[in-house]
């Protein structure tokens, strides 16, 4: 089976301040597939910040709507891309207010309050694209089951290929990998400074994107995106 994977993301438009800031902070542009320099004046060395952002750099600056999956036998990437456009034609955007927070050990932009509409968008995405998803292989199943999962998580994993769906979904735009507890306060302060013009202001989740990872050693890059109707 191919190691090529696809995913359905929210990726802000390339020209928006949010995307420019987020992509620079993780050092990668999912639109061009190229590394980016970090913002000047970070309160961390380039080496430390490179290590802190290694994991999100693989995925690009985004929020996941349907987690990475391999194409099912007989399914074509061209048809998947067309389905993204069709889904967006019938979908509606959502407006949230973003805040920099920690989720477990990593930092991310998250809505400052629960959003049922956003959760519905994610749930609809999970269902709408599942026909394109190949069943989990044994390697991926073992990897997921190595984490502590509830019975519901395991049910989601078997049915949808990912544990944290529906009631367990949490919209987030990842900014770092795991941060040691002693460093979390300083990392959050750094990110809040860099995103001061964005945090607390309305953000339209107004598009969906198809992204592709050709192999495990490559980062994801954007294939196509489509506009949702106005929130």
Give the residue from 58, 34, 188, 40 showing the smallest Cα distance to 110.
Answer: 188
Task: Say how far apart CA 155 and CA 166 lie, in whole Å.
Answer: 12
With a cut of 70, which residues of the chain have pLDDT below it? 1
pLDDT of residue 194: 95
Q: Answer whether 177's CB lies under 8 Å from 53's CB.
A: yes
pLDDT of residue 1: 54
pLDDT of residue 17: 95
pLDDT of residue 3: 85
pLDDT of residue 154: 92
pLDDT of residue 63: 98
Structural domain count of the chain? 1
pLDDT of residue 38: 95
Task: Say how far apart CA 7 and CA 64 lie, in whole Å.
Answer: 8
pLDDT of residue 143: 86
Domain around 31: 5-227
pLDDT of residue 198: 94
Q: What CATH number is associated with residue 176?
A: 3.90.1140.10
pLDDT of residue 43: 85
């Amino acid at each position: 089976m191919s190691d090529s994977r696809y995913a359905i993301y929210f990726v802000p438009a390339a020209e928006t301040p949010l995307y420019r800031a987020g992509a620079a902070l993780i050092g990668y542009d999912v639109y061009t597939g190229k590394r980016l320099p970090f913002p000047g004046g970070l309160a961390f060395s380039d080496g430390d910040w490179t290590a802190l952002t290694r994991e999100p750099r693989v995925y690009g600056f985004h929020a996941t709507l349907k987690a990475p999956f391999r194409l099912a036998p007989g399914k074509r990437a061209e048809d998947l891309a067309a389905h993204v456009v069709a889904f967006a034609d019938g979908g509606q955007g959502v407006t949230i207010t973003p805040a920099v927070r920690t989720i477990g050990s990593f930092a991310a932009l998250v809505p400052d309050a629960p959003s049922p509409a956003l959760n519905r968008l994610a749930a609809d995405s999970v269902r709408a694209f599942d026909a394109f998803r190949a069943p989990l292989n044994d390697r991926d199943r073992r990897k997921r089951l190595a984490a502590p999962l509830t019975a519901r998580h395991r049910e989601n994993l078997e049915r949808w290929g990912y544990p944290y769906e529906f009631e367990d979904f949490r919209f987030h735009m990842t900014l770092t990998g795991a941060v040691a507890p002693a460093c979390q306060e300083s990392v959050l302060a750094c990110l809040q400074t860099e995103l001061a013009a964005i945090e607390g202001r309305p953000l339209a989740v107004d598009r969906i994107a198809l992204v592709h990872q050709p192999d495990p050693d490559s980062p994801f890059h954007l294939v196509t995106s489509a506009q949702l109707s106005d929130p």
